[in-house]
Structure 1
């Protein structure tokens, strides 16, 4: 039963990457709005 753990880790990795991209885009927007 290693597969569910692998799927969970992959999902968490994608979520972290997505959150980082959102955060970087948000910071870029804030910096340009000043």
Structure 2
């Protein structure tokens, strides 16, 4: 069985990235993915 490599990156979510529903803001999430 072939196994692919796993990419892992830990991101600390700042309080200002949390929206009124308690979720991470989508714009902030996309910015992290582009970095």
TM-score under structure 1 length normalisation:
0.33
Of structures 1 and 2, the larger Rg is shown by 1
Q: Which has the higher contact order (CA 8 A, sep 6+)?
A: 2
Higher helix share: 1
TM superposition score normalised by structure 2? 0.32
